[in-house]
Structure 1
Amino acid sequence: MVKENKETWQEGLSKDITFIVTKDCQLACKYCYLVGKNTKERMTWEVAKSAIDYILDHEKDMTEESVIWDFIGGEPFLEIDLIDKICDYIKLQMFQRNHHWFNSYRFSFSTNGINYHTAKVQNFIRKNKEHLSIGITIDGTKRKHDLNRIWKTPEMEKGILPKPEEEKGSYEDVVRNIPLWLKQFPNASTKVTISSADIPYIKDSVLHLYSLGIHEVNINCVFEDVWNDGDDKLFEEQLVQLADAIIDGDYYKDYACSFYSEHIGKPMDSNLQNENWCGAGKMLAIDAAGLFYPCTRFAQYSLRSKKAWTIGNINEGIDKNKLRPFLTLNRCTQSKQECINCEVASGCAWCQGENYDAAETPTAYQRATAICKMHKARVRANNYYWNKLYRKLELEGTREEFEKNKRESNLSNC
């Protein structure tokens, strides 16, 4: 993420507002949780304006010090004209209203990167550069990226999947825009998704992303139940091999990978039992029909087996009664006792929308645990990483310097 001045950005105190500007995308990524993508549902200016007016009219209900105006799809940059108009209107209205979010806001994008170089996108970036975060998704090596992130074909609209030899990967279309992106956002990070089929390419993919100049690689396993027997062992092996490469190659000095953290793999902190992992219910998402959701994962195009969970609309506003269940969601109210008592519970993530979609009944209180074994494998590799790193630092006599630099880095990111 782009580091911003603390005077204009209140990290951790922000409201996340998401515009689902389109449900279309050039790609048909195999692990994508958006099961209902289509070319028809595109947000209109009238719907976007009504949503903005409602949000800014209800300033007293949204007291967070800062705001993230998030734009997603599908692929958001397919609707760059609408987004440009929306952002201009937001800035003007926040200024005219003397809104407490004025000059304490961010426009945020996660993009497949294909249209990044186009004139309209570049004009938008130049106009909003100081309040902009853009993450381009590139999955690693060409082999790993093209395994899942393939171009959509007209036949796919009819439910006809291409044969493996007919699939066209998008790596070359994305990687050509990485130098421009990093020139404009030197501190930007990318997000890598791991599913069962691409586990063997994790180590090479992270190192490849480092070689492209990306210093921060955020990785997560998909929350859906896609994991096969033995995947956790392969996963651990890849993370151990990656740990060796990062430490032996001194990458840890200038590069980061989110798989390794000193804060995971411990028993659940009793002080955090009343907190939820994600911000569902505190966030707000709006779709093309003007419907409000507690998170985009509760919109119909994100759900395989459940009905959409709406909390209002642009005409009637937010129904606070429909938000009440989210106020009581925490680690204990939705977790099995096994998860609460787990010795490596810290850092084990979940998605509230996936919990709802995978539950046996229409409830948000049943935690999906498909990634349990993957988390435990990550913890074992994580322990290996930190033990090896600190042994090396002790032998070199540089541990104290390393920990000092780490503390200073954490403070500068606050």
Structure 2
Amino acid sequence: MKIKDLDKQWEDGVAKSITFIVTKDCQLACKYCYLVGKNTKERMTWDVAKQAIDYILDHESDMSEESVIWDFIGGEPFLEIDLIDKICDYLKVEMFRRNHHWFNSYRFSFSTNGINYATDKVQHFIKKNHEHLSIGITIDGTKRKHDLNRIWKTAEMEHGIMPKPEEEQGSYDDVVKNIPLWLEQFPGAGTKVTISSADIPYIKESVLHLYSLGIHEVNINCVFEDVWKDGDDKLFEQQLTELADAIIDGGYYTDFACSFFTEQMGKPMDCQNDNQNWCGAGRMLAVDAEGNFYPCTRFAQYSLRSKKAWIIGNVHNGIDKNRLRPFLTLDRCTQSTDECINCEVASGCAWCQGENYDAADTPTVYQRSTAICKMHKARVRANNYYWNKLYRKLEKEGEREAFENRKKQKVLNVKRI
């Protein structure tokens, strides 16, 4: 059975997400990276990986989701391609041998910096598992934007010595050369773009550049950390408005997408009728090199600036449900301020549970960080501009009904893959 045939299993996202932190090392030292504790020493062993798999598959009744996403992250996951290949082979054999309900209802998922993508070992792995693979390569846009943040790590950085800006080596050229092969193997794949304060001026040109590379799905978001300066929201809105003009005037909206523009945002929310937690922490599961379990990778120590890791168990003793319990009761209203709850443009305002925890006054997951508030409101204003302009154009040209039908078909296609 191919992935495209797994309509029922993947519909509505009914999948358990299980993440292996196979390494905390990476070739890059991206300036906006939330992984503040990356290092070359903490790498998962086969013994730890096998124990984690055996525990998870032994507890099938505790993980009743119809499907599973086996996610691999780092650092850079493809630095550990040999281990990953062994893990995936073992998973396939064990799910079959146990007649596990996840057998043939799974995906192996990767977000990679793309540097090692074309190597023989990675390509062998892709060919062997292609029908069950989801791979996203992170490219931030134009060379100017990408190289501003996504720079190569140096030996000096290991000792806390940061290079001067003129000495930084960007990674754009090393990544972009692998984009054609990636798109050939995964034509519908999307990339992930991160926005921080320094690169706001390059949003418009970067999205259009990614379109020119043949990337049709650009998933883009602002960092959740408190890095925003006075005036960033105004510049952000200006860039998004200019991007909206370019997408609509250039007709890109027919075949390309940018996640900054969506009709499902910028409206009031009612806690009685729409009170879900934005984040999946607690319903997900992550395991690190030491065999510790976490409710999400953002609760591992290398992801935290000021708090202690929130460990919910390990491969030897299993999951401590008391440590997990706070996450199972999280919703929008239990962690939001009155201002957030009553905000007239609340829908679509995202948060990261790990950042909430890290930024909170006390070690709690019930205090929502509001660092992106002004950026969300700026996005809403630009989003309203986008849809108002687009629908005026469609109405004038008599194309609105056809556009609505294409949107419905795209939703159906997404569910099928």
Structure 2: which amino acid aligns with 1:300?
Answer: Q
Q: Residues 69-117 of structure 1: CA distance to partner in whole angstroms, max 9, x if unpaired?
A: 0000000000000000000000000000000000000000000000000
Structure 1 residue 328, shift from structure 2 partner: 1.2
For 1:365-376, list aligned pairs within 5 A.
Answer: 365-376=366-377
Alignment of 1:90-105 (within 5 A): 90-105=91-106
Contact 1:3 1:413 in 2 (8 A): no
What is the alpha-carbon distance in structure 1 between the residues aligned to residue 9 and residue 114 of structure 2?
25
Which residue of 1 is the match for residue 138 of structure 2? 137
Pairwise CA distance, 1:7: 4.5
CA 1:270/1:359 → structure 2, altered by over 3 Å: closer, same or farther?
closer
Write out aligned runs for 1:181-200 (5 A). Answer: 181-200=182-201
- C-alpha contact (below 8 Å) 1:273/1:330 kept by paired residues: no
* Structure 2 gaps, min length 5: none
**What letter matches 1:54 in structure 2?**
Y
| Other structure's SS at 2:193 match | strand
Task: State the partner residue of 1:381.
Answer: 382
Matched residue SS, 2:17:
strand
| Partner in structure 1 of residue 46 of structure 2 | 45
Please list, as runs of the form range in 1=range in 2, the aligned pairs for 1:94-243 lying within 5 A after superposition.
94-243=95-244
Displacement after TM superposition at 1:407 (Å): 1.5
> Deviation digits for residues 298-325 of structure 1, max 9, x if unmatched?
0000000000000000000000111110
User: 3-state SS of the aligned residue for 1:10?
Assistant: helix
Q: Does the 8 Å contact 1:217/1:257 carry over to 2?
A: yes
Contact 2:25 2:76 in 1 (8 A): yes
Deviation at 1:278, TM superposition (A): 0.7
Q: Deviations over 1:6-31 (max 9, x none)?
A: 35742311000000000000000000
Aligned equivalents of 1:176 and 1:28: distance in 2? Answer: 20
61-70 or 8-17, larger mean C-alpha shift: 8-17
Distance 1:192 1:7 in 2: 28
1:8, 1:103 within 8 Å by CA — same for their partners in 2?
A: no
Partner in structure 1 of residue 31 of structure 2: 30
Correspondence for 1:298: 299
Range with greater deviation from structure 2 (350-359 or 399-408):
399-408
Alignment partners' CA distance in 2, 1:379 and 1:8: 33
Cα pair 1:8 1:105 within 8 Å, conserved: no
Contact 1:269 1:346 in 2 (8 A): no
Equivalent residue number for residue 5 of structure 1: 5
Between the aligned partners of 1:385 and 1:180, the Cα distance in structure 2 is 33
Equivalent residues of 2:15, 2:65 under 8 A apart: yes
Is the deviation greater in 273-282 or in 6-15? 6-15
Residue aligned with 2:114, SS: coil
Q: Alpha-carbon deviations, 1:357-378, whole Å to 9, x = none? A: 0000000000000000000000
Q: Which structure 1 residue ranges, 5 or more long, are not aligned?
A: none
What is the distance in 2 between the residues matched to 1:231 and 1:17?
36
Residues in 2 aligned to 1:87 and 1:361: alpha-carbon distance in whole angstroms: 39
- Note if contact 1:277-1:349 (Cα within 8 Å) is conserved in structure 2: yes
Tell which deviates more after alignment, 317-326 or 264-273: 264-273
Q: Within 2, Cα distance between the matches of 1:218 and 1:240?
A: 17
Could you tell me how far apart the structure 2 residues matched to 1:382 and 1:5 are?
34
TM-aligned CA distance change 1:3 to 1:163, over 3 Å:
farther
Indicate conservation of the 8 Å contact 1:21/1:79, yes or no: yes
Q: Which amino acid aligns with 2:107?
A: R
For 1:96 and 1:6, locate their aligned partners in 2 and report how far apart those are by CA, in whole Å.
21
SS in 2 for 1:103: coil
Q: Find the aligned partners of 1:411 and 1:278 in 2 and give their Cα distance.
A: 24
Alignment of 1:346-361 (within 5 A): 346-361=347-362
- Tell me the TM-score normalised to structure 2 length: 0.98
Q: What SS does the aligned partner of 2:4 have?
A: coil
- 1:210 match: secondary structure: helix
* Letter paired with 1:391: R
Identity of aligned residues (%): 81
- The worse-fitting range, judged by mean Cα deviation, of 284-293 and 261-270 is 261-270
Conserved? CA contact 2:6–2:105, under 8 Å: no
**1:29 counterpart letter in structure 2:** C
Match of 1:275 in 2: 276
Report which stretch shifted further, 64-73 or 7-16.
7-16
SS at match of 1:69: strand
Structure 1 residue 137 displacement after superposition: 0.1
Distance 1:170 1:391 in 2: 41
Instruction: Indicate the residue corresponding to 1:20 in structure 2.
Output: 21
CA contact (8 A) 1:240 1:384 kept: yes
Distance in 2, matches of 1:9 and 1:316, equals: 30
2:77 counterpart residue number: 76
* Structure 1 residue 408 displacement after superposition: 2.0
Number of equivalenced pairs = 413
Contact 2:271–2:332 under 8 Å retained in 1: no
What is the DSSP-based 3-state SS (H/G/I as helix, E as strand, rest coil) of the residue aligned with 1:33?
coil
Secondary structure, aligned partner of 1:217? strand
Equivalent-residue separation in structure 1 for 2:144 and 2:9 (angstroms): 38
Q: Is the 8 A contact 2:20 2:73 kept in 1?
A: yes
The 3 A distance-change label for structure 1 pair 228 and 397 is same
The one-letter code of the counterpart of 2:181 is L
1:244 aligned partner, one-letter code: D
Alignment partners' CA distance in 2, 1:211 and 1:187: 15
Deviations 1:291-348 (A, max 9, x none): 0000000000000000000000000000011111011110000000100000000000
Q: What is the rounded CA distance, in whole Å, between the counterparts of 2:3 and 2:231 in structure 1?
A: 39
Quote the Cα distance in structure 2 between the aligned partners of 1:7 and 1:217.
23
CA distance, structure 2, for counterparts of residue 8 and residue 346 of structure 1? 28
Whole-angstrom CA distance in 1 between matches of 2:276 and 2:391: 31
> Match for residue 343 of structure 1?
344
For 1:4, what is the secondary structure of its paired residue? helix
